[in-house]
Amino acid sequence: MIETYLLEALVAFKDYRTLSAAAENLHISQPALSRSMQKLEEILEVSLFDRTKNRIVLNETGEMAASLARNILQSQDEMVTLIRNYDSSLHTVSVGSCAPGPLMELGTVLPSVFPDFSFCSSARSEDELISDLLKRKYSFIITTRNINDERISSAFYGTEHLFVGAIPAHPLSVYRDTGISFSDVNGENFLMFSDVGIWHDIKEKMMPDSRYITQDDLSNLSTLVKSSSLLSFATDLSLRLFRGDENPERIYIPINDPEATVTFYCNYLLSTRKKLEPLLNYLSSRS
Amino acid sequence: MIETYLLEALVAFKDYRTLSAAAENLHISQPALSRSMQKLEEILEVSLFDRTKNRIVLNETGEMAASLARNILQSQDEMVTLIRNYDSSLHTVSVGSCAPGPLMELGTVLPSVFPDFSFCSSARSEDELISDLLKRKYSFIITTRNINDERISSAFYGTEHLFVGAIPAHPLSVYRDTGISFSDVNGENFLMFSDVGIWHDIKEKMMPDSRYITQDDLSNLSTLVKSSSLLSFATDLSLRLFRGDENPERIYIPINDPEATVTFYCNYLLSTRKKLEPLLNYLSSRS
DNA sequence: ATCACTTACGGGTGACGTAAAAATC
DNA sequence: GATTTTTACGTCACCCGTAAGTGAT
């Protein structure tokens, strides 16, 4: 059998084209690498290089061998992360979401539904979430659409509605009951949380002329908003979660456009259904 | 990175269920294997076993890790054969066939078409041939149908017609020009070569009531046939190839059923087209 | 002269085997 | 008592680094 370090050596040589460069990158001496390549040829009973006195180049067989070796190493890497993820999936419940709202809500819900759990911040794209779900990095993920994959099952999670926050003196505050449209505030400056996931794309699309002053710390943002007359954002979820320590000096105006309402779905691996049943029961009882 | 011997150890343990049994199979001592398993857990930062004082069992994570490890090892094996086959494909031309006729014919043709070459006997099923072609064990294969795979290209090779050999005194010999049908000789005893590839299925299907006395050595079979009054087989290919040392005491009666005629195709990997061009030119010039 | 590779040589890590202890059946 | 696993310890393989040699640019 071929030990992994030999495959790593071969791949490094393919990448760096000379033994010296590859050896340096592998943090071993150049003669050591030279011997490894010889050993690999011995084991395979095949010559992998064209050698001249002071030059060594992969031959046709060597090139293909290095490609195959790279695949093996990648498979090994994937194996390691799969094993680690699988292990932690037995001990914790981790969540990925395309928006922070459901994540914050779940933060209050999960501890009562599951004994112990861990949290994960929202990733960028839904594709990344799906890929990480398949690798079991997440126990389940929150997305805005049902996923078309036979290994994955989906359940309705809930909706989130966007509001604009403003000081009472703001002219728009008269619309606090009737609501406004994105176009009414397109061009205005906003204070907002930086990691809003899918809302990022929505605001960019619906209010391309606005400027957004972002803040990646929620409590700092809150302080900032209290002291400012700039517009801000909120959602029904965030308003419900932070009821109590919300700013009494702010009023929240609903946005009427359909794009201001997002529907979330909870997606999980079919094979983990049993483990997640408490959550699924909770979700269906809620709706 | 995880060295291969650790993965082998894990897989062996999964297969043999105890360290002692697995160690014996791996030809190492049992304490050595015990340490390897500990080391693997260290590297993965995950526990793979449920341990009691004198018993060690794979836990859930361990079971899945062992499965993944088995896949890696299999990939490695495949890599090694791919590399070896690829290397030899650069030095030799090897042929697989579903029947011996084209193989014998090619034995006389290939040396003049290719500088150096090697030979392979006919494999059992066409599926095996295809699989070995994809692994580059064969440079090209002879089958009875075009193969539906985008990596493989096919060319017409030729046909082979089956004859029944009999002594002149045999009552069927009057049909030497008009031919007979399988049903006319179903139930008769035949002397025949054992490794006839696809012809095996044909005779079983068309003459299920006959008995076949097989011989795996061609020259022994020839001696046997000369001394016997039993029926035998021949084809247009074999008669052409062995013209000269054929038995003058035998006559050959054609079989008229369509099943007695087989059409062969030459299949090769698209990526090797250039190498095989001399052969393809020869084939198209022949037809 | 510098660079790149191979061969030669000595050293240290670590994987191995033997031995012993503990625990279960 | 037999089996199975773990720990302890000494040994040896083997992989590595340094040094030296050869050939090419």
DSSP string, A203-250: HHHH-TT-EEEEES-HHHHHHHHHT--SEEEEEHHHHHHTTTSS-TT-
**Considering the entire predicted model, what is its pTM?**
0.83
pLDDT bracket for residue B249 (50, 70, 90): confident
Helix (H, G, I), strand (E, B) or coil at B63: helix
pLDDT at B147 over 70: yes
Contacts of B65 in chain A (CB under 8 A): 79, 83
Look at residues B142, B124, B140, B109 and name the one whose alpha carbon lies nearest to residue B263.
Answer: B142
CA–CA gap between residue B121 and residue B97 (Å, rounded): 7
Q: Does B119 touch chain A (CB under 8 A)?
A: no
* Residues 6 or more apart whose Cβ sits within 8 Å of residue A152: A130, A133, A134, A267, A268, A269, A270
Contacts of A86 in chain B (CB under 8 A): 60-61, 64
Q: Does B75 touch chain A (CB under 8 A)?
A: yes
pLDDT at B252 over 70: yes
Helix (H, G, I), strand (E, B) or coil at B255: strand
Kindly report the length of chain A: 287
Q: Does A218 touch chain B (CB under 8 A)?
A: no
Query: Nearest residue to C8 (CA, C1')?
Result: A31
Q: What's the average model confidence in pLDDT over A256-282?
A: 95
- Cβ–Cβ gap A80/B4 under 8 Å: no
Q: D13 C1' – A19 CA distance, angstroms?
A: 25
Q: Does A1 touch chain B (CB under 8 A)?
A: yes
Which of B63, B85, B87 to substitute to test the interface with A, most A CBs within 10 Å?
B87
pLDDT at A227 over 70: yes
Contacts of A271 in chain B (CB under 8 A): none
CA–CA gap between residue A73 and residue A101 (Å, rounded): 39
The CA radius of gyration of chain A, in Å to the nearest whole number, is 27
CA A252-A254-A257 angle, to 5 degrees, is 155
Q: What's the average model confidence in pLDDT over A140-162?
A: 94
pLDDT in tens, A99-112: 999 999 998 888 88
Contact A262, A159 (CB under 8 A): yes
pLDDT bracket for residue B244 (50, 70, 90): low
